Structure 1
């Protein structure tokens, strides 16, 4: 014999009930069945709401009752032929009328006792089971209905009654030994006390009813039919990558159900555990799916972690004080107090010094618990031996569950480091000696990030999800997004990185999509966004609180650069081509570097110098390996190199500068490049990365621009000034030609001094043949004294800058 239980969604309406009937009919071809059903979806909540409204003297209960009556009438009418309905439904209506009388009584008395509450809540299953049984008879005539109150006996603990298994097992066995029906359909959730009062087994108790019957009749299997393909590795509503678990042990299933795996009511496993009855979790709407098998079998070669679960709305109660150290009975007193208040303890941890005890309880019990504990320890608190207990709210518990965790080293460390990298603060830790469960208490706002981060770590074949928040989608930003789109499959297959752009912003609008922006139509989506605001952009990042978040700054905006501090403190990585932050005051630069280390948040800015060239990364490796930089010589402006390489008697200085802007080699304000400020920022960053505390004011800037050009306030005026001072630039060119040299704008650091400015480079110098927009850097170090380390290549352009930013993003992914 097999016991099948169908949940509320499986019997939500006539369409779903017909799917249920089809499954039952097929199963009955080869087996005798006991079918346990829940109330129609949402009915139990409506019953309890109606009862509460009635007891509060609100006539709204009449409207709710009418909804309940209409739902049952509609479902019955849809399932049954008119002839059968006309004969059958009056019996259902009689019970609906009895329900109405109970609700009227609550209204008249203005109260709702636990006994009345159970009597009212039971009507959900009582009504649904009779309607489904009548419909099932049309498919399988050998179907009988049996009220579970006639054989499940409990005490009078209304709301969650305790089962008397001796009398219950005898009654179930007596009934089924003498009843040869092909299918017996019973209501779940409901039972009866020894006084014949209706009791309930707790919310979700229909699973428990099925398990009780399965154990009593020694069923071949227990099948729990619901609306998902089994128990999942995590809550699929919060973790999109969650997967059904094919097989799990009874103990693992109990742990997961205790920690919020809502497809299974926690007490369900206990009755079938000792009988070793296999339990299947199956999907009514996808009956061909494998589902989850719960049994004694344990696959020692599978993932040691079977699932990740959590409990919301937890509060931590902490009792501490020197008066507890070595004093026997302190823990006993604490737990006795909580037990007397009927407060369930979900989580326990105690310091080995016995100085403090910390317990996790439902937040709804927090105030009651504090009052009771403070009263129980009132004397010790007044004597100063123990502190008044503290309550921390807005917490949740996240648990790793797996039978084989005890056989694998490092799982705890992996769990804690994974959470730490994503700035998830752990408030308390508990791990049993069986090592079947590792539980941590964290802030409730971090639960989504924690679950996804842990699931990615333990279940997703090491594919890391990177969530990008991109500010600045101009020329470089557009190339960057195009590169991500083109490389997304390669990154996933070869680097195990899943790069998702979650947010975009330009100077006018910003757009967010937690599920990832479609990069085929990002321009259209961005136009539909909200007004751009850098601070609000960062605030939304924090609120979304996504794992492995990376802020990508592709602007030259000072206000944006000064938001990095906030981001790094939230363990959000920063990738930037914006040079302002790293070339600002030294103390600010150092603070950002320190925050990056403290909060384990990567701060990468390779494109600050040399666009996509690996200049900073190479320099970091030199310093990290113990080398010391003494001198730097560099051409660091691809735009200036392009300008002076193309400036000739044929092309005026004005025309070449214009062309450099068209090609995307200069900043939007070309004066930043031509004034030498941009190069000064770059050499400053290299000096600082070499380990020297240097300020911008210490760099001598030998500008080649006339004062009038420097004093212009608009691009239009600037270009006019270049024309009016054409002779000045022609003289520079003539001087270079006469000395058979080439003009280069060179940055130099030597013996603690730095300068930038034009130099006439002779033919035998490494800089002489520097073509196009190329950059070149020479590092003279302890190891590279006579022959400097040379890095050379394209140092400007949207494509190469975008590729440098992309490379930094990949570096971040490899660090997570």
Structure 2
């Protein structure tokens, strides 16, 4: 035989209750079944809130009561088609409602709502729903669970009288009907015969008690989800159903917030080795989750992540606790006597402090109880008054195989640390089935996401990107991400989730990801932004595995990097300003990234997509020393001096560089040498030298007056230089030389200069907008290392930024 329990959502609507009927009738064709049902979804809460209104002498209790009557009447009218059966059911239901109305009216009159009365009130939810389901299912026999589910009073709370209940269940069902229908949750006190209950969620417990007493083949819990999930799907969109769990794993997940089944449900069936299957009433074909004693071929170290928000941590501390036997016994006994549950304990090895986790609603009473228990010690100064911290959340990773996998705790805390999540307290049992830790409530979502991703519970690794700048480089980058999205998902199990896009004026933010096919139109009508607002919005999202990608040339945006790195957001910059700013600020950015365990990457600051900075870093990391750098670092200037000819004057080459996207948005940055100076400073710093922009010796080729005034003045005056350049070009041509704007770092001394390069020099045949770098090191002294390739262009630069993103994703 089987026991099937249906929760409130499974009897909460016409659709669900008809699905229940179909499931029960299908199962009844195979074997006898016992069906346990909860109250209609939301009715238990409604019964409680209506009793509160009556207690407060609020006449609205009558309206709320009539709403409940109306809901049940409509359900009966819709699902019961047989006239006689419907009439009989109405009589039964209306009789129960009349009793309930009388109780409410009594509460309303005498302004008293005892626990006894409240228990009686909430019992009507299951009594009503079970009678409706019994009438709906042909051949079902209704049983009153109050006659065989018995409780006794222990420490001020109702606890199951297991021995008596087991005996009564066996006697009641010794001649088992084909379909037995039972209201869950409700019970009677053994001594007083008063109506009691098994607690919220107690219908699961009722079903487990009956399954164990009758040695059922399986206990099926029918609810509104497909089973246990790896994490809360409302928080983690990639959470998925766990196929199999052990009893211990299921118990751990239930205790830490997974509300799939009521925790006490597991024990009665566990000791009888009866499996529990959790299934979805709205998706009955799904296999759901099976909970049993032993899982075969189980290789996953952890099965799921669960959490409890609204946690409070109470710290009991004092020098008198060290080495004194019985302190912890007093703590837990005092709390237990007041019915306060402790779900986590963390104690220092010195024994001078113990932290306990309780729910926030219990913290005030718990502090009071413990201060009273240790009043003498507190008065003597041997102990301190209890310290309580609220606004916390407890997270647990659960899996029996954790004890066979080395380094789980290290990976757990390392992952949290890299994400900037501070652990306030932690606990791990010797069985290593559960590692629990406490964090601030605002870090809960981030903690769950980063752990779910880190422990491979997610099908994909997710990198959340904020892209700032949608001009030539930013636009190309977003296009590349969009084009590669599916390929990376399929090949690398990586999701590049663009959660933010900002232009100079507007911003789009979406935690679930932005549609990249239409972002330009959405951005035009999105909310206005500024660098400060952008920073606040990004930090406010507090999203895990996040990367800020700067494709602007903005000083204000570069100024945000420090805040992002301090908040564990990696930064990728095509923007050269930060890495070439004051040396101390550059060092601070790098130190912060290292300290926080995130990345500050700016490979495209020099050479667009060329691996120049990465190569320098690799050389230094391997123990080599950079002695000298010679480089043509401006793709724009190289393009200009390769294009210039008798037919193409200097001013025209500048126009062409701008049109092809090789130059900065303002070409004067290139022509003034500022761009090359910045690049040289960055390379010198990465090579291990302390260099400021002011230290670079500059030999420029365009007079200063051309950089003053507006950009329009610049374009207007630029042709005045053509004649002089043509004269000099002819001389250069006659000497078989070419112009190259060369940057040099030699032993820490730096300079930039327009040089005439002879034919036998490596720079002579540098084509188009290419860059070239010669690295002379202690190992590459006689024959310098040469790096050459495209050094400008939106697509190439965007590809370099993309490569930086991938380097972070693959860490």
Give the C-alpha shift of residue 330 in structure 1.
1.8
What corresponds to 2:527 in structure 1?
530
Count of aligned residue pairs for this structure pair: 809
What corresponds to 2:100 in structure 1?
99
What corresponds to 1:131 in structure 2?
132
**1:238-286 C-alpha deviation (Å, 9 max, x unpaired):** 2222222222211211111111111110000111111111211111111
The aligned runs of 1:475-514 (5 Å cut-off) are: 475-514=472-511
1:191 aligns with 2:187: yes
Whole-Å Cα distance in 2 between the matches of residues 473 and 302 of structure 1?
A: 45
What corresponds to 1:253 in structure 2?
250
Answer yes or no: is the 8 Å Cα contact 1:114–1:158 preserved in 2. no
2:774 to 770, 773, 778: 778
1:301–1:219 Cα change, 3 Å:
closer
The aligned runs of 1:24-173 (5 Å cut-off) are: 24-81=24-81, 82-136=83-137, 140=138, 142-156=139-153, 161-173=158-170
What corresponds to 1:384 in structure 2?
381
1:485–1:159 Cα change, 3 Å:
farther
What corresponds to 1:597 in structure 2?
594
Larger deviation, residues 38-47 vs 291-300: 291-300
Give the C-alpha shift of residue 300 in structure 1.
4.8
1:267 aligns with 2:264: yes
What corresponds to 1:642 in structure 2?
639
Answer yes or no: is the 8 Å Cα contact 2:238–2:458 preserved in 1. no
1:448 aligns with 2:449: no
Give the C-alpha shift of residue 313 in structure 1.
0.9
**1:701-722 C-alpha deviation (Å, 9 max, x unpaired):** 222111220212x221111121
Answer yes or no: is the 8 Å Cα contact 2:743–2:753 preserved in 1. yes
What corresponds to 1:690 in structure 2?
687
**1:40-99 C-alpha deviation (Å, 9 max, x unpaired):** 111111111111122122222222212211111111111112443233202211211221
The aligned runs of 1:286-365 (5 Å cut-off) are: 286-365=283-362
Whole-Å Cα distance in 1 between the matches of residues 267 and 807 of structure 2?
A: 49
Whole-Å Cα distance in 1 between the matches of residues 94 and 524 of structure 2?
A: 57
Larger deviation, residues 59-68 vs 201-210: 59-68
Answer yes or no: is the 8 Å Cα contact 1:611–1:804 preserved in 2. yes
Answer yes or no: is the 8 Å Cα contact 1:304–1:408 preserved in 2. yes
1:756 aligns with 2:757: no
Give the C-alpha shift of residue 777 in structure 1.
0.8
Whole-Å Cα distance in 2 between the matches of residues 464 and 51 of structure 1?
A: 49
Answer yes or no: is the 8 Å Cα contact 1:160–1:201 preserved in 2. no
**1:764-814 C-alpha deviation (Å, 9 max, x unpaired):** 211111110001111111111121111111100000000000000000111
Give the C-alpha shift of residue 679 in structure 1.
0.5
Question: SS in structure 1 opposite 2:160?
Answer: coil
Give the C-alpha shift of residue 38 in structure 1.
0.5
Whole-Å Cα distance in 2 between the matches of residues 755 and 615 of structure 1?
A: 19
1:367 aligns with 2:370: no
Larger deviation, residues 799-808 vs 115-124: 115-124
Question: SS in structure 2 opposite 1:434?
Answer: coil
Whole-Å Cα distance in 1 between the matches of residues 90 and 594 of structure 2?
A: 71
Unaligned stretches of 5+ in structure 1? Answer: none
Whole-Å Cα distance in 2 between the matches of residues 613 and 36 of structure 1?
A: 68
Answer yes or no: is the 8 Å Cα contact 1:188–1:207 preserved in 2. yes
Give the C-alpha shift of residue 367 in structure 1.
2.1
What corresponds to 2:667 in structure 1?
670
Give the C-alpha shift of residue 156 in structure 1.
4.6
Larger deviation, residues 412-421 vs 279-288: 412-421
Give the C-alpha shift of residue 312 in structure 1.
1.4
Whole-Å Cα distance in 2 between the matches of residues 207 and 510 of structure 1?
A: 48
